[in-house]
Structure 1
Amino acid sequence: MDFNLNPRNESYRKRIRDFVDQELLPLEQNADAYDEHENIAPDYLEKMRAKAKQQGLWCLQIPEDLGGQGLDIVGMAACYEEMNRSIFGPVVFNAAAPDDGNMTVLAKVATKAQQERWLKPMVEGRVRSSFVMTEPAPGCGSDPGMMQTTATRKGDRWVIQGHKHFITGAAEASHFILIARTSDDTRKGLSAFLFHKDDPGWEIVRRIPIMGPEEHGGHCELKFDGLEIPDENRLMEVGDGLKLTQIRLGTARLTHCMRWLGLARRSLEIATEYVDNRESFGQPLAQREGVQWLLGEAAMEIQIGRLLTMHAAWKLDQGDFARKEVSMAKVAVADTLHKAVDTAIQLCGARGYSKDTPLEWIYRYARQARLVDGASEVHKMVFSKTLLAERTDFWHWGVEA
């Protein structure tokens, strides 16, 4: 692949970078700009979103005919990385999980009527959304086949019974995508549905406390006791729930990597600035070999993660599922984020451990990277199975047509 960005993607990347530098990094220094869950407060969020819209930087990932900017996935990779150099970045540009993945999958598989009702308000930033799949044991986690929540057909409606937890964004979501069991078929036993927060028959049991910081809407436990969903709000065909999940999560997992690389870069930006200016025993820390080793190793890991992510993005743009490439990027970049911020804290000493920089915020946030959208161990299973099937062809190069 050609690692040069096309002029359009580069223009968006530069504009995102300038917006982050001029608007968001200074805002992080304002204590009033944070809500009680350590994310950007609603008033400040709306102001920043209005500026992003005004500058044409809104919803880069959504096709132009649906209200977005229509960037390809390679362009998203470059821009999402720049966005998340700020801890406030992705949500300002309407590119934060879970809305990002939900909008992307609805743009791909929803009917025109469903897009008008459910997707359009999300693209316009009028509502938030949530993806409802994970369940308490013995229900599904990384294995959708263990799904316990059921959808039973009753005329032209589906009745939902079940229990979900760790549902990101649920406390502030209006639109939900629900995965539930509609039969015992191994491959075609799950189906996907849309429902609204005001529909009766379900409740948020609690907002689950986490290490944090949290996305808007937190991570919630939900119970369903007779929620009725009209068949017109079913996504794709009956039995296509697993297929929808795979369509959604392929790109969504990679967008996590894109954003995490931004946080990793920000961590090293803070560290390099500190060691350049902090003197110890007569010379700047940056001149000491041990410090250079730490910085160099972290910088190299970030670049490896960028290459893995960009390669997977390119393959997705070619129409490939890129399963092993996405899984390898997910594992590597999750580790890289932790290594980068851990290194930065070590180099910044007490300042890094304090709340005077966002490093402690990023450090707590980074621990979830090895868990969300499939634990690292699960992804290693995915590409190791591919290795066993492909053997030496696991490392093949593509050939131009």
Structure 2
Amino acid sequence: MDFTLSPRGESLRSRIQAFVDTELIPLERLPDAYDEHENISEASLHAMRAKAKASGLWSLQMPQERGGQGLNMMEMAACYEEMNRSIFGPVVFNSAAPDDGNMMVLNKVATPEQKQRWLQPIIDGEVRSSFAMTEPAPGSGSDPSMMRTTAERRGDHWVVNGTKHFITGAGAASHFILIARTSDDARKGLSAFLFHKDDPGWEIVRRIPIMGPEEHGGHCELRFTDMVIPDENRLMEVGDGLKLTQIRLGPARLTHCMRWLGLAKRSLEVASAYVSERESFGLKLAEREGVQWLLGEAAMSIQVGRLLTMHAAYRLDQGDFARKEVSMAKVAVADTLHQAVDTAIQLCGARGYSKDTPLEWIYRYARQARLVDGASEVHKMVLSRSLLKEGGSFWKWG
């Protein structure tokens, strides 16, 4: 199994690394580069996106004929890791959640007409998107079978009623993918639909406050009241909603891991620079054995996460769903991100706890990693079921 990047993949990786170092990390130090939710401001984002497009670093995950770079998952893993060494990186390159996952699933399953109307504007950066699936209790969270939002067919359209919450990016999105119940069938009871922000029959009830910095559009609660969706805006076949979520969430979970590894690496970069200069009791901190242990352990965890992520990317590139591999990467990298930034804050002391570095931003952001796209405990359940079913074949090569 060779993880060597193609020449083009390596070129894009190194160019993204240079862009992050010269454009984005300096931008993080400017107070007016942030919006009120601690993300990159719209003015700064517009300017940086223009530079990313001009540099040929735009929409890495999309086909070249649609204006992207056409990278495979292994190439994306290396490039996404580099871009999220900056807290502003993914959205600048049009590779941030939820647009990233939405673009990939629409490119796989949408009709040509749907791609032109709903996908292309996201690729071009003209609009943002959102994926409306999660519901308040007793509705669906990690268990889609509990979904209570319904879509009832009436002739050539569907009427939607229900509530969704923690819908990432909804406050700024124009294009939405909605998952709703269309029957009581255990496997084929959900269907997927597309709708536009200006369509009547739905509202944003509130933007839910969270502990961390927010993606553009926040995390919102939505209410649907007799919302009408034409059947032409249905994705895939009736009853394929669960299938669509599986197609979307596997790669989307892995791209989270790719980005989190970039944040983990950035955390150690900040800490390494500090301990290499800071002296205490006659020695630089980097010369102390306890500091070396902390850095070495965090660095090793990052490398383990990178190998798990790249292995899962390889399996996806081979056409496999890679459920085990993605779950293992998701659990391990979520823990690694928290370990890396926590270690960095500890080594930097009060400076790490302050806003003089991005560490406190990353620390607050990192806590969601063990929750989003399936809590770590759910992924461990998936792994346990695979082990019990496969036995020794769980660890087979190839």
TM range (shorter): over 0.9
Q: Does 1:62 align with 2:62?
A: yes
Letter in 1 for 2:206: R
Letter in 1 for 2:376: S
Q: Which residue of 2 aligns with 1:159?
A: 159
TM alignment of 1:76-87, pairs within 5 A: 76-87=76-87
Identity of aligned residues (%): 79
Q: Which residue of 2 aligns with 1:305?
A: 305
Mapped to 2, the partners of 1:74 and 1:331 lie a distance apart of: 19
Mapped to 1, the partners of 2:49 and 2:295 lie a distance apart of: 34
Indicate the SS of the match to 1:172.
coil
Q: Which residue of 2 aligns with 1:46?
A: 46
Mapped to 1, the partners of 2:368 and 2:75 lie a distance apart of: 25
Letter in 2 for 1:248: R
Q: Which residue of 2 aligns with 1:211?
A: 211
Mapped to 2, the partners of 1:334 and 1:273 lie a distance apart of: 24
Shift of 1:58: 0.2
Shift of 1:67: 1.9
Q: Which residue of 1 aligns with 2:92?
A: 92
Q: Could you report, residue by residue, the CA deviation over 1:269-293 in whole angstroms, capped at 9, with x for unpaired residues?
A: 0000000000000110000000000
TM alignment of 1:312-351, pairs within 5 A: 312-351=312-351
Q: Could you report, residue by residue, the CA deviation over 1:376-400 in whole angstroms, capped at 9, with x for unpaired residues?
A: 00000001100101111111101xx
Shift of 1:367: 0.2
Letter in 1 for 2:142: S
**TM-score, normalization: structure 1?**
0.99
Mapped to 2, the partners of 1:229 and 1:212 lie a distance apart of: 34
Shift of 1:212: 1.5
Q: Does 1:395 align with 2:387?
A: no
Aligned-residue CA RMSD in angstroms?
Answer: 0.4
Q: Could you report, residue by residue, the CA deviation over 1:103-123 in whole angstroms, capped at 9, with x for unpaired residues?
A: 000000000000000001000
Mark the runs of 5 or more structure 1 residues left unpaired by the alignment. Answer: none
Mapped to 2, the partners of 1:267 and 1:178 lie a distance apart of: 36
Shift of 1:3: 1.8
Indicate the SS of the match to 1:326.
helix
Mapped to 1, the partners of 2:64 and 2:241 lie a distance apart of: 27
Q: Does 1:2 align with 2:6?
A: no
Mapped to 2, the partners of 1:65 and 1:222 lie a distance apart of: 35
Q: Could you report, residue by residue, the CA deviation over 1:177-224 in whole angstroms, capped at 9, with x for unpaired residues?
A: 000000000000000000000000000000000001000000000000
Q: Does 1:198 align with 2:198?
A: yes
Shift of 1:66: 2.0
Q: Does 1:73 align with 2:93?
A: no
Q: Which residue of 2 aligns with 1:267?
A: 267
Letter in 2 for 1:26: P
Q: Could you report, residue by residue, the CA deviation over 1:128-148 in whole angstroms, capped at 9, with x for unpaired residues?
A: 000000000110000000000
Q: Could you report, residue by residue, the CA deviation over 1:301-340 in whole angstroms, capped at 9, with x for unpaired residues?
A: 0000000000000000000110000000000000000000
Q: Which residue of 2 aligns with 1:290?
A: 290
TM alignment of 1:222-233, pairs within 5 A: 222-233=222-233
**TM-score, normalization: structure 2?**
1.00
Shift of 1:226: 0.8
Q: Which residue of 1 aligns with 2:133?
A: 133
Mapped to 1, the partners of 2:203 and 2:50 lie a distance apart of: 32
Name the count of aligned residue pairs.
Answer: 398
Mapped to 2, the partners of 1:114 and 1:6 lie a distance apart of: 32
Letter in 1 for 2:154: K
Q: Which residue of 1 aligns with 2:21?
A: 21
Mark the runs of 5 or more structure 2 residues left unpaired by the alignment. Answer: none
Mapped to 2, the partners of 1:65 and 1:229 lie a distance apart of: 30
Shift of 1:4: 1.2
Letter in 1 for 2:159: V
Mapped to 1, the partners of 2:154 and 2:272 lie a distance apart of: 62
Q: Which residue of 2 aligns with 1:175?
A: 175
Letter in 2 for 1:58: W
Letter in 2 for 1:67: G
Mapped to 1, the partners of 2:372 and 2:102 lie a distance apart of: 15
Q: Could you report, residue by residue, the CA deviation over 1:344-389 in whole angstroms, capped at 9, with x for unpaired residues?
A: 0000000000000000000000000000000000000001100101
Mapped to 1, the partners of 2:35 and 2:66 lie a distance apart of: 31
Q: Which residue of 2 aligns with 1:248?
A: 248
